[in-house]
Structures are given as C-alpha cells and as structure tokens.
Structure 1
Amino acid sequence: MTAPLWDPQQYLRHADHRTRPFHDLLARVPDPPAAPAPRVADLGCGAGNVTVLLADRWPGARITGYDNSPQMLERARTHAGPLLDFTEADAATWTPAEPYDLIVSNALLQWVPGHAARFPVWLDALTPGGTLALQVPGNFDQPTHVLMRELADSPRWRDRLGGVLRHTDAVLTPAAYLDALTVPGVTADVWETTYLHLLPGEDPVLDWVKGTGLRPVLTALADDPEAREEFLTAYRDLLRTAYPAGPHGTVLPFRRVFAVAHKETRNRTRTDRRPATPEEKG
C-alpha cells in the first residue's frame, strides 16, 4: 500500500473532536520519573497540535515529535521551540536512540501493520518508571470504512483501488493490546470509549474521513480529478444514508481503544519468591 499523502488543513478541520481522545489518554498518564524535565517522544505527531499539549503539561520536558509525512512535519514545525522539535521517522522501524521517560502514540498505529511487534523495542527504551501510552481508532467495522471498502472493491473501482484500504485487522482488540503490553516489569491499563461526535454542516462525515481514512483513496486518484470526484459523489451518497442529518447535526459514533503501559521503577527479572537481597533492592 502506497503511503497516503496528508493534508494538515483538512485534518485539522475537526481538531476539537480529534483531540478529545488525546486529552482522555493523557489524563491516565502519570508524571514521568524525570518530571519536571522528562524526555518525551510523540510518535506520529502529525500536525503537532497534540504535541504542544505535552509541552503544556510538562513545560520543562524535552519533546520530539516524529512523523513520516513531510506535509504534516511542515505544519508541526510551526510549533517548534527550544525544548520542542520535530523530525522524520517511520514508526514501523523507529528504534529509540536514547532512553525516554514517556513515549506517546496518538491515532497512528492503525497505519502500521504488525505494530504490536514494536512494543518490546519501545518498552525497552523506557527509563524505569516510564510509560508507553497509545490510542487507536477501533471503528474499522463501522459504515465509514465498510462502505468505503465495498465501493473500492466494486467492479468500477477494483482495478484502481484494490488493496489500497485497511481492514478490521488494522488494530488489535483491547484484550490483545492488554496481552501484548503485559510483560514482566510492566503493568498495562487498557480501555475503550465510543464517542458520539455531533458534526455540523453539509456532509460532515465525508469531510471527516477526507482528513484521515479516505487519504489512501484520495492519494490513489490524485492524478485523475474526474475519477476522484466520481468516487467521492458515490461515497457521499452512501454516507448520507448511513449517517442521516438530524435537527442538531449529524452524529458520528467513533470507538477508540486506549492503552497505558507503565514500567516498574525497579524492573526485577527474578521469578522466585524469596525475599530480595540488599543488592537486589538497590
């Protein structure tokens, strides 16, 4: 699958709704062991609008936002400062070059096939008492994605869009995240929330997915404006039926999965139950 081209302006059109899950994730993240000056990584920082929330909470933190989209990084760098920088990296291969007190990933890992295989690397990079916190959308079985996939796989579009879109296995179940993150020396807290976003305007669900889930289609059809508009019109009509407008706007149910993995301050690997020696106690 070709990496999608991102449009920061389109993505930020629903910034208030998109940022709310990050606030909820951050509320469950304890202060890093090196607070008030921890080392923090924001993996998949996007436009940088949530990275600045990390700086707001820990003003003395040295924070690096990582992303593999040049368009998003250009926008993110408008937030850069003495302790806040942004650099290119691919989460599929990113290996921390130094210890981190906190690694955060917000709405990124659904784009990284097999991302759970990276957890041991990132957990190993945490300082004792450090935290890995992530949030991913859990809505790949909802009409926004199901209708998109069905349309892309229809005879009209199959040759051009076959294999472009993600399926329900793009993210794990909450139980699978809990299992993957609950390893010796680490405790994990996993939960899910379904938000009911009340969106204003005409065809707001289409406008929402144009900033995220629809990017692979928009990228694949970028060189053919007529085909792009044909697909968007057909998809828009399907969304209007699936998400009818109400008297106060259009309701978009959106499920999110959260995980916070906390590394023990002293990571013992002993499996016996004898009392720790003075040397083991440190």
Structure 2
Amino acid sequence: MPAAAATWDPHQYLRHADHRSRPFVDLLARVPALPATGRPPRIADLGCGPGNVTRLLAERWPTAHITGFDNSPEMLARAERLAGPTAGGGRLDFAPADATRWTPARATYDLILSNATLQWVPGHPGSFPAWTDALVPGGTFAFQVPGNFDAPSHVLMRELAASPRWRDRLGEALRHADAVLTPGEYLERLADLDCEVDAWETTYQHLLPGDDPVLDWVKGTGLRPVLTALADDPAATESFLAEYRTLLREAYPSTPHGTVFPFRRVFAVARKA
C-alpha cells in the first residue's frame, strides 16, 4: 500500500483478531519445514500490522530471528511491545518498510511471509522475483490475501464512494476488484520462478456478534482509505458511515445467531528449488 494511502488504527483492527488470525494459522500450517542451514532460521513478516500473528511464528520456529515489517507507524508502535528475545532462544523485532519498495538482500531469508497485505500493493506479483531471490535454497515464500473485492461489503463501498455526492473526495480512494489475482494466476507466476507451489482459496463463514458488525470489521481494514480521506471532516465521515451502514444492513441481515459474513481468501505457498 502506498505510504500515504491510509492511517491505521491497531485497536480497531484487533477488534476481530480471532477471525483475522485464522487465515494466518491456516497458511502457516501449509508452510513446509525450513531448510537446514546450520544457523537459526531468518524469517520476514511483510506487513506485520500490530504483531499479534507475527509472534505465532516464534512458536513454530522458536530459535528463529523474526522481523516484522510494516509502513504504518501506528501499527509498529503497537507491535514493538512484543519485541525482544523469545522463549526458545530466538528474537522478535520490528522495522519500518513499505512493501511497494521492499527489496531484501539476496539469499537472506529462510521464510518470507505476508498476511493480508499484498492487496494494498499495486502490481505486487512484479516483486515476486526479488522476494524469491532473497530466499536461501529450499526457502519458502508464503502469503494470503483477501479475495472478496466482489463481495457486497466492497462493491457497496466502491459504489457509494463513486456516487455523485462522494466521488470528488473519494472517487480514487479505494482499490478495485482486480487488486489480487486468482489462485491459478499466482501459481503460474510463482512456478515460472522455479518454485514448487501450493495455491488455493477458502471462503470463511464468519459469524459476527453485535450491532453492525460488518461495518465494524471494515472500519479496521478496507474502509481505512475512506476514513483517512474524510478525517478532517467529522460530519462528512458520519454521513458516509450512515449511508454505508444502511446498505450493509440490507446486504448482511442480522440473524438470531449473529451476522454471517462470508469472506473469501486466496493463499499461496512457494518453495524455492
């Protein structure tokens, strides 16, 4: 994501931490054993956010030196609370970096992982050669991205932003439906780099409690560019949210058990030859 595209709120993002963490855990389960190099594993988490899932890497690889990268000062400030030695003798640290420009040194990492970040990076498949080049032989590049840009939550958001009332202020603020590729397209791009690739998609059926939970969810992620663009105008912010809330209530009706929020995600795990 371009550095100035959105201001992030770690507290809002973490309100649905359990649901947001599940795809990371599912991705991690498919990452193969890291190569035996005779040294502690070196791992990069690209787009670490508040670090709540980065620390799970230390449970899988307790001796690893793990660095979480993010371009949000707010997220890094929250993540920094987790930095330091890990229980297994490894280390967890965090550093600023923008995924649109991040190019690590050659053969630096055993694992480069990215969780729900690359959808913010236009043309991110173009970075795959540099990122896989930064893996040691037998290393892994793994990521998951939301694949729900054609879901009502995002379609309605884009349509409202492009409506006559809002298009002058918000017409260019949001990502489009082609922000991510299909699993097959990711597989082809990574296989062309001589990687062994596992690519798939999953649609989670999140059951969310409370009033207007879909709005609460997107306020932590997809709606951030809108909230940033309107941040200097509280009245406009509330007006946009009121319109959007009404649309979401119709698209995602509440049930006696909560609100069902289907969420498609795309995964890829690429092991370097």
Q: 1:88 to 1:34 in 2, by over 3 A?
A: farther
| Residue 87 of structure 1: aligned partner | 95
The 8 Å contact of residues 109 and 134 in structure 2, kept in 1 or not, is answered as yes
| Residue 171 of structure 1: aligned partner | 180
| Residue 75 of structure 2: aligned partner | 72
Find out whether 1:31 has 2:33 as its counterpart.
yes
Q: Which runs of 5+ in 2 are unaligned?
A: 86-90
Paired residues, number: 264
Looking at structure 2, the residues matched to 183 and 153 of structure 1 have their Cα atoms a distance apart, in angstroms, of 38
What's the CA shift for 1:21?
0.2
| Residue 156 of structure 1: aligned partner | 165
| Residue 48 of structure 2: aligned partner | 45
| Residue 213 of structure 1: aligned partner | 222
Looking at structure 2, the residues matched to 5 and 140 of structure 1 have their Cα atoms a distance apart, in angstroms, of 20
Looking at structure 2, the residues matched to 184 and 263 of structure 1 have their Cα atoms a distance apart, in angstroms, of 8
Q: Which amino acid aligns with 1:42?
A: D
What's the CA shift for 1:235?
0.1
Aligned-residue CA RMSD (Å):
1.1
Find out whether 1:186 has 2:189 as its counterpart.
no
TM-score by length of 1: 0.92
The 8 Å contact of residues 16 and 217 in structure 2, kept in 1 or not, is answered as yes
SS of 2:126's partner is helix
The 8 Å contact of residues 84 and 92 in structure 2, kept in 1 or not, is answered as yes
| Residue 257 of structure 1: aligned partner | 266
SS of 1:168's partner is coil
The 8 Å contact of residues 147 and 266 in structure 2, kept in 1 or not, is answered as yes
What's the CA shift for 1:185?
3.1
SS of 2:237's partner is helix
What's the CA shift for 1:56?
1.1
What's the CA shift for 1:183?
2.3
Compare CA radii of gyration and give the structure with the larger one. 1
Q: Which amino acid aligns with 1:24?
A: D
What's the CA shift for 1:114?
0.1
What's the CA shift for 1:184?
4.9
- 1:230 is matched with which residue: 239, 244, 247? 239
The 8 Å contact of residues 5 and 69 in structure 1, kept in 2 or not, is answered as yes
Find out whether 1:240 has 2:249 as its counterpart.
yes
Q: Which amino acid aligns with 1:135?
A: Q
SS of 2:255's partner is coil
What's the CA shift for 1:173?
1.3
- 2:142 is matched with which residue: 133, 140, 148? 133
Looking at structure 1, the residues matched to 93 and 212 of structure 2 have their Cα atoms a distance apart, in angstroms, of 36
SS of 2:144's partner is strand
Looking at structure 1, the residues matched to 73 and 158 of structure 2 have their Cα atoms a distance apart, in angstroms, of 27
Percent of pairs with identical residues: 72
In the TM superposition, structure 1's runs of 4+ consecutive aligned residues that sit over 4 Å from their partners are: none
Query: Residue deviations 1:75-114, cap 9 Å, x none?
Result: 0111101311000001111011351000000000000000
The 8 Å contact of residues 38 and 101 in structure 1, kept in 2 or not, is answered as yes
Which is further off, 28-37 or 171-180? 28-37
| Residue 202 of structure 1: aligned partner | 211
Query: Residue deviations 1:246-271, cap 9 Å, x none?
Result: 0100000000000000012xxxxxxx
Q: 1:92 to 1:247 in 2, by over 3 A?
A: same
SS of 1:136's partner is strand
Looking at structure 1, the residues matched to 36 and 96 of structure 2 have their Cα atoms a distance apart, in angstroms, of 25
| Residue 142 of structure 1: aligned partner | 151
Q: Which runs of 5+ in 1 are unaligned?
A: 265-282
Looking at structure 2, the residues matched to 108 and 192 of structure 1 have their Cα atoms a distance apart, in angstroms, of 16
- 1:55 is matched with which residue: 44, 55, 58? 58
Looking at structure 2, the residues matched to 230 and 250 of structure 1 have their Cα atoms a distance apart, in angstroms, of 23
Q: Which amino acid aligns with 2:161?
A: A
Looking at structure 2, the residues matched to 165 and 172 of structure 1 have their Cα atoms a distance apart, in angstroms, of 17
Q: Which amino acid aligns with 1:13?
A: R
Which is further off, 34-43 or 58-67? 34-43
